[in-house]
């Protein structure tokens, strides 16, 4: 059997967007992913669903698997002929024990490739606004382990040069030995008033920065129970943070926000919240699937040019409709002279992606807005197609029929419950650590209530800011007993984000 290959991929310091293009490529090829505690689990989404995922992390100094076991695991999987990705936090060759793993692979005759990552010191420096070097302050920087091997007997660190050189010193994973390390630097000649910064969970929305001096940083860390994982930056460059910090100034910095959209729709919304500094917990309460049968929609598509109007009230309706249109062997030419109404700017934009310009976009992004627009037209004997979700409101059908229109409304997709809610979201709600929850449709509200139970939902959301995308969703919230704190004037996710920013600022 041909032996496989192992890719040692640096996952970066925490922000999943900081992985290299090559690192993402390797994950996309992976048949096995062995990942550790400091590798952001969101990166696993790059790997195929069929890839085996093995956690080999280390939490609070306790190894889930020892290094020898990890080495053997990599050799074993590669010997089976598999493509293995060893996903390591930071950079594999900077305090990542990547060298030891490569030696084991070399000894076993296994091919390997090392893909560098943004190491913790560099990530923490950039995201905390503390440059490691500065032309007016220092031209040197040293990376030092905060934990030396206890079995070595004596230190391999040259404390004299480290302390007297005047350059920036960065300790990796040294929170538990902070007092000892700071005292050693002072004892070897560095001034006690030298600025120090601790950076925890660098580059993530959870990032925390604690600033002090060599003489008092350990006391400060104990007072606020500053926990690992964190790095320690020592040097005059720390004083530049007041000017250069940028992450902390984001409008939603440190806010924990739950997004309840369907899993395949949450990405863009979540990314925009995260870009504003929020820690986003995705909690899909909707799973979108095909209708139980396509018969009615197929009949409508085959007669598409015979309709006067087609109404799309959501991006999902367009996507599922065009998927079926393509499956039946048709394209946009099938619309003929049929005019198109889309509800909302996002829905219109989705239609533009198929090179079709909507004929009508109601100014009010609700079913009532659609009815109001069509009430201005002569709809008598008009044929209208309304591809809809299985749980859509009936107001459009009902009111257009009153206007004399003939309307067909085939189910184009179904809205079902996901199998379960993410445990990290439930844990955050139980800990009362959530700042805001967003609802972008009535279905997201109803489904969450059904999955949790109405009583538990109300209890868990006590003190949590409720952000609703519009009046229909808000009414559903209120009907369940929830107080709606945020509702934008324009019913789009972008407007919802802006309203959330305004509320917290």
**Known catalytic residues?**
36, 58, 173
Q: Do 295 and 473 form a contact (C-beta atoms < 8 A)?
A: no
Q: Which residues of 248-286 are buried (b: 16+ CB within 10 A; e: fewer)?
A: eebbbbbbbbbbbbbeebbeebbebbbebbbbbbbbbbb
CA 212 to chain centre: 32
For residue 81, give Cα distances in angstroms to 1, 21, 92, 115, 326: 7, 24, 23, 20, 39
Spell 432-442 as b/e; 16+ CB within 10 A means b. Answer: eebbbbbbbbb
Tokens in use for 267?
A: 């990405």
Tally the residues of the chain.
505
Other CB atoms within a 10 A radius of the CB of residue 339 amount to 16
In degrees, to the nearest 5, what angle opens at C-alpha 274 toward C-alphas 254 and 22? 125
Query: Where are any strands of DSSP class E within 187-338?
Result: 195-200, 208-213, 230-234, 256-259, 279-282, 287-289, 309-312
Residue 196: left if φ>0, alpha if ψ -120 to 50, beta else—which one?
A: beta
**Among candidate residues 246, 238, 249, 170, the one with its CA nearest the CA of residue 210:** 238
Among 468, 460, 454, residue whose Cα is nearest residue 433 = 460
Structure tokens at 377: 């037209």
């Amino acid at each position: 059997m041909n032996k496989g290959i192992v890719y040692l991929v640096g996952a970066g310091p925490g922000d999943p967007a900081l992985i290299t293009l090559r690192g993402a490529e390797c994950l996309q090829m992976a048949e096995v992913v062995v990942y550790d505690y400091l590798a952001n689990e969101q990166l696993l989404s790059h790997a195929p669903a069929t890839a085996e995922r093995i956690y080999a992390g280390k939490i609070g100094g306790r190894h889930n698997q020892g290094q020898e076991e990890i080495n053997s695991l990599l050799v074993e999987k590669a010997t089976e002929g598999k493509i293995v990705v060893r996903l390591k936090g930071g950079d594999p060759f900077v305090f990542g024990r990547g060298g030891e793993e490569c030696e084991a692979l070399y000894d076993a005759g296994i091919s390997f490739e090392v893909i560098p990552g943004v190491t913790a010191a560099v990530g923490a420096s950039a995201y905390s606004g503390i440059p490691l070097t500065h032309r007016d302050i220092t031209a040197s920087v040293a990376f030092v382990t905060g934990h030396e091997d206890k079995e070595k007997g004596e230190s391999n660190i040259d404390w004299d040069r480290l302390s007297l050189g005047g350059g920036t010193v960065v300790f990796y994973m040294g929170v538990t030995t902070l007092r000892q390390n700071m005292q050693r630097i002072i004892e070897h000649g560095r001034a006690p008033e030298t600025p120090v910064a601790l950076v925890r969970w660098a580059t993530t929305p959870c990032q925390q920065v604690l600033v002090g001096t060599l003489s008092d940083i350990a006391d400060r860390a104990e007072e606020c129970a500053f926990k690992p994982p964190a790095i320690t930056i020592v040097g005059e460059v720390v004083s530049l943070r007041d000017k250069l910090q940028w992450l902390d100034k984001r409008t939603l910095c440190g806010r924990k926000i739950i997004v309840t959209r369907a899993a395949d729709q949450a990405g863009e919304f979540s990314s925009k919240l995260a870009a504003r500094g929020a820690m986003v917990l995705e909690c899909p309460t909707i799973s979108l699937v095909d209708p139980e049968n396509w018969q009615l929609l197929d009949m409508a598509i085959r007669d598409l040019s015979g309709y006067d109007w087609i109404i799309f009230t959501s991006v999902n309706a367009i996507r599922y409709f065009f998927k079926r249109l393509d499956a039946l062997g048709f394209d946009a030419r099938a619309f003929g002279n049929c005019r198109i109404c889309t509800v909302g700017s996002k829905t219109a934009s989705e239609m533009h992606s198929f090179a079709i310009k909507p004929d009508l976009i109601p100014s009010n992004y609700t079913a009532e807005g659609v009815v109001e627009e069509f009430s201005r037209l002569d709809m008598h004997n008009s044929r209208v197609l309304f591809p809809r979700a299985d749980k859509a409101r009936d107001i459009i059908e009902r009111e257009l029929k009153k206007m004399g229109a003939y309307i067909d409304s085939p189910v184009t997709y179904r809205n079902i419950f996901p199998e379960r809610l993410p445990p990290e979201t439930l844990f955050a709600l139980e800990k009362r650590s959530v700042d805001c929850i967003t609802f972008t449709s009535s279905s997201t509200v109803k489904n969450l209530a059904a999955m949790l139970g109405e009583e538990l939902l109300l209890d868990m959301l006590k003190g949590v800011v409720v952000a609703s995308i519009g009046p229909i969703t808000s009414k559903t919230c209120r009907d369940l007993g929830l107080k709606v704190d945020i509702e934008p004037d324009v019913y789009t996710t972008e407007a919802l984000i802006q309203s959330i920013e305004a509320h917290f600022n």
